[in-house]
Structures are given as structure tokens and as C-alpha cells.
A and B are shown apart, each in its own frame.
Chain A
Amino acid sequence: MANPPRPPESIPPSPSSAPASPPRLALRHIDSTYTERGASVRALEDISFEIADGEFVALIGPSGSGKSTLLDIIAGLFAQTGGEVALNGQVIPTRERLGTSAYMRQRDLLLPWRTALDNAALALEVHGHSRQEARRMALARFPEFGLAGFDRAWPAQLSGGMRQRVAFLRTVLTERPLLLLDEPFGALDALNRVALQSWLLDLWERERQAVLLVTHDVDEAIFLADRVVVLTPRPGRIAHIEPVALPRPRHRDIVTTPPFLAHRAALLDALGLLAPVQGGAA
């Protein structure tokens, strides 16, 4: 066999910090209007921001500000009325965005008829791996997710925190460089929530995907994110973008430090939660 060696420049090294590399996700002037019971609802107005490769962005806003709608649009489940979504510098139409990101919702959405292992392996199966191969790949990561020994359990046998970790593993195994997380800790109690936040941070330090996290918890947003995007009440517009200058890796004790509290004050102000309550005076 006289196969000439491939020239080394055919596989260009692409450091994620290269200034020329396009953002993983770019939203440009996204508008969303939909009809609900005959009435037209303006959900989002002129949303523009970018997420770089390996960047963790939190999206925060009052309920009804269209946060989940925005994730549905990015995932390709819902078409925007105006504006465009670009992935890696390329504008992608709605239907073709399906399958390009890993999407996790507040509900774990484990399929009750699949074991923990088969739930974790679901996306791998959908992406064409054989069931056996998908299981092997998922099982290899069970200990890391604190699920060792629970691979054959049915979802109904697992606690809320464990179910959420199975859902996380399923999301990570989707093997997409963009993670969309819609209040993944919203349904958990405070202790589980804090534990899973630290755990997610550890995981992300190792994997470094681009993440867009929807939350209504200011502390969670600051603790996890590189930047926090604040939306206004309906229609959701960008009220403020707060870069979080806290060093990484972050530990839980950071939440009582002055820089953290300064970010907190800025975000609460952007959400209008520091202003005096209006309309109370009679």
C-alpha cells in the first residue's frame, strides 16, 4: 500500500480561544409573536446576543418573559417570527436546527418504560448508535454522575435528584456542543438544588460546552455563568447583560463575597426588584 501520508495542514488545529472562530450561537433580532386563544401575544422582541464556544450564559427574567420560548426557538421546536439564529457562524432555518443542540427541561422527562440506563442512552440511540453500543457508552459514565448501581432501576424507583442526574447524563450524551438548560433545578428542593449546581459546575469545567441556562434564581445565574442576560416582562426584551467577573473554578463559598453581592445587586436592580413597590399608595 502506497498511501501517501496526509499533509498535516489538512486537519487544522482549532483552539477554541482563537479570536477568528465564530460564536457557537448567535441570535440576531429575534422576534416572536404567537396566537393564544385568538389573541396575538408578543413574547420576544429584538433579542440579540452571542454565546462563544465554551461559554456559560444564564438567561434570567420574570415568568412570562419568553425564556422558554427562546430555548424552543434555538432548539428548532418553534419558529421565530423575525430575526435569525446562527450556529457556528451559519444561519440555520428552524426545522434544520432540530438535533443540533442538547435540550433539557425542568421536568426530567424520563421515559417511564425505560430503565435509567436506557433513558440515559436515548439520544445516542436516536443518533444512530446501536442499542448495545449506546448502553455501553452510557454505563461508562454512570459513576461520574453518582448513578453507579442504578442502571437497571426504573425511573419510578429513583428520587427526584437522581432522576434529574439521569436526565443530565442523557443531555450530556446527546454529544452536542450547545447545551440548552431550562430551569433544570427548578423542581428540586433547596439542598438538592445547591448540590446539583456545584456538581454541574464541576462537570462543565471538564467538558466546557457552550451553555445557555434559563433560570429565575439570581444566585444560581451568578454562581454558574460567565454572563447573565436579563429579560424584561412580556414582551421579553434584553434589559441588561451582566458579565460575571468571578474567577474559576468557583466554590460554593463565593456566594458571600463582595464581588458576588455586587453582581447580585446589579441583577436585582435590572429585574426591577430593588425599586420601591409601586401602586401601593392609596
Chain B
Amino acid sequence: MTGSPPIRALSRWIWPLAILILLLAIWEVAVRVTNVPAWQLPPPSAIAASFRDDRALLWRHTLVTLKEVLLGFGLALAAGLLVGIAIDASPVLERAIYPLIIASQTIPMVALAPLLLIWFGYGLLPKVLVTALVCFFPIAVNTVDGLRVADREMLSLLKSMGASGWEQFRLVKVPASLPSIFTGARIAIAFSVIGAVFGELVGASEGLGYLMQRSAAQFQTARVFAAIVILSAMGVGLFALVSLLERIALPWRRFITDES
């Protein structure tokens, strides 16, 4: 059965799906048989019920977190690309900025987030900044790497045609760096949800992180699980979206074998 693409895609997903359903069934049965209280470990059916009963609440907080993630990722993307290009363009900047960027990664976010709270309050901004800080590093570093791998001979070919520095950048360096930039973006988007939730846990009045914290305090454990499911779906969905954009933007990559 190696027929049309949809059928192949289905057969790829059928086993993980079957195992997931089996695990959920074991979970459901185990909880019922052992009589564990729902506030300690809710069965999947209770989590499903929470999705149904709390959908307005969950949706509202999901939108807040999604907004933080997208704004933070967007900010990191813009800053990472700019810094990456600047570092590639100027050896002085490379020596000045690059070590600082690497050193900044050793500062634990746990220490930084409360400071951002003190400086920027309980609103949207500190969460966006935490997300952006988490996303910035992989994007900036992969941009620098991508711009560096541009083939020197291709650049000198363009030069021999009389191409300006800007044309060499636009026609060779940018396209050559895109695969690496997309790799950075995929790593960053996977971290971005963690960043936003972490920002909310430190201090917030809305968002899924805040909702989880509040629901846990009220022993609404099924709702905590529902929020976790949404967060994980959000992470997977955004990752898939970036991967899809990558496939659309770099159609030539599919034919590249490792010979070049």
C-alpha cells in the first residue's frame, strides 16, 4: 500500500496514533480501577470534559499565550536576522558582539524573568521579552552560520560578472543562508511556547501558564491537563507551520543529496 501521498501519510501516522489511544485507554482504566481521586490524577475522560465545560476560558487564555509567542518569536526573528547580518558584515562587530551573545546564553532565564517583571510590570511586554530572549540565540547564531557557508567561488563568479556587493548579498548570500536560518527558526519556535509559559508563571494575570497555576491551586487538575494539551498542540502546530513554510520557500532542497 504505497499509493497516493495521503494514504502514505496516513500509514505513517496510524501506529503512533494507535499507541496513543492504547495509552489513554490504559490510563482511563487504571484510574477507575485504583480509585485515585480526580484532583490527584484525572482520567482522560475528565480532561475531555474540562475541554467541553471550560472551552471559553481555555480559548481566552490560549489566545493570550499565542499572542505572546508570536510577538516574542517575531521580535527575536527581526533582531536575530539583523544581528546575524551585522556580525557577518563586520569583523569588528563580530569580535565585539559575538562573545557577548554567547555569554548571554549562560544567564539562566529563571534569574532574568523576575527582573523583567520588576522593570516591565505584569503586562504583555515581559512575557514577549522572555520569549524573544529564548528564541533570539538560535536564530542569530544560525543566521551567522548560514551567511558564512556561502560558497566563496560563487561569490567571486558574481564578482567577475561585475555584481555589486548588494547583488552578491541578495543573489548568493541570502539564499545560501536560508536553510540554516530556517533551522534556527524551527529550534526557536519549539522553545518559544516554553518561554511564554515561563514568563506567565513568574507573574501574570492571564495566559495558559497563569491558568495552570491558578487551576492547580484550586485542585482543578483536569483543567491543568487540558492547558498542557493545548500548549503541546500549540508547540507542535507552530513547528509544523515553520517546517511547511520552509518546504514552500526552499523547493530545491528536496533534490539535494549529500554529494555537494
**Which residues on A sit within 8 Å (CB–CB) of B163?**
99, 126
A182 CB to nearest chain B CB (Å):
11
> What's the Cα separation between A157 and B159 when bound, in Å?
26
CB < 8 Å neighbour of B260 from A98, A112, A114: A112
Contact with A along B102-116 (1 / 0, CB 8 A): 000000000000000
Which of B151, B167, B176, B257 is close to A126, meaning CB atoms less than 8 Å apart?
A: B167
B157 touching A105 by the CB < 8 A rule? yes
| Contact in complex: A101, B157 (CB < 8 Å) | no
List the B side residues contacting A123 at CB < 8 Å: 161
Contact, CB under 8 Å: A122 / B260: no
Q: Which residues of A contact B (CB under 8 A)?
A: 72, 75-77, 98-101, 103, 105, 107, 109, 111-114, 122-123, 125-127, 154-157, 174
Residues of B within 8 A of A (CB): 151, 153-154, 156-163, 167, 171-172, 175-176, 178, 250-252, 255-257, 260
Nearest residue (CB) in B for A156 is: B255
Q: Is the CB of A126 within 8 A of B175?
A: no
Q: Tell me whether chain B's interface is mostly helix, strand or loop, or mixed.
A: helix
- The docked-state distance in angstroms from the alpha carbon of A174 to that of B160 is 10
**Chain A proximity of B231: nearest CB distance (Å):** 35
Write out the residue numbers on chain B whose beta carbons fall within 8 Å of the beta carbon of A72: 156
Cα A113 to Cα B149 with chains together (Å): 14
Name the one of A101, A105, A154, A156 contacting B153, with C-beta atoms under 8 angstroms.
A105
* A222 CA / B250 CA spacing, docked (Å): 44
Instruction: For A155, list chain B residues within 8 Å (CB).
Output: 252
Contact B161 A122 (CB under 8 A): yes
Which residues from chain B contact A122 at a C-beta distance below 8 Å? 158, 161, 171
- Are B161 and A174 interface neighbours, CB within 8 A? yes
- Decide: A99 and B160 in contact? CB cutoff 8 A: yes
User: Which of the listed residues A72, A107, A127, A156 has the most CB atoms from chain B within 10 Å of its own CB?
Assistant: A156
CB distance from B241 to the nearest CB of A (A): 22
Q: At the interface, is chain A mostly helix, strand, loop or mixed?
A: loop
Question: How far, in angstroms, from A111 to B172 measured CA to CA in the complex?
Answer: 8
Contact of A156 among B157, B172, B256 (CB under 8 A): B256
Measured CA separation A72–B159 after assembly (Å): 11
A75 touching B160, Cβ below 8 Å = yes
Residues in B whose Cβ lies below 8 Å from that of A99:
160-163
Going nearest first, the 10 A-B pairs with the smallest beta carbon separation are: A99-B162, A156-B255, A103-B160, A113-B175, A154-B252, A75-B160, A126-B161, A126-B163, A123-B161, A109-B157
Contact of A127 among B151, B162, B171, B260 (CB under 8 A): B162
* Cβ distance A45 to chain B, nearest Cβ, rounded Å: 24
A77 and B156 contacting across the interface, CB-CB below 8 Å? yes
28 residue pairs of the A-B complex, CB under 8 angstroms, read A75-B160, A76-B160, A77-B160, A98-B161, A99-B160, A99-B162, A101-B160, A103-B157, A103-B160, A105-B153, A109-B154, A109-B157, A111-B154, A111-B171, A111-B172, A113-B175, A113-B176, A113-B178, A113-B250, A113-B252, A122-B161, A125-B171, A126-B167, A127-B162, A154-B251, A154-B252, A156-B257, A157-B255
B contact residues around A103 at 8 Å (CB): 157, 160-161
Docked Cα-Cα span, A72 to B160, in Å, equals: 9
Shortest CB distance A166–B (Å): 13
Asked if residues A126 and B172 are in contact (CB atoms below 8 Å), the reply is: no
Q: Tell whether, in the assembled complex, residue B161 and residue A156 are in contact, meaning their CB atoms are under 8 Å apart.
A: no
Do A126 and B162 form a contact, CB below 8 Å, given A113-B250, A156-B252? yes
CB distance from A170 to the nearest CB of B (A): 9
What is the chain B residue whose CB lies nearest that of A74?
A: B160
Which residues of the other chain, B, contact A156 by a CB distance below 8 angstroms? Answer: 252, 255-257, 260
Q: How far is the CB of B159 from chain A (nearest CB, A)?
A: 6
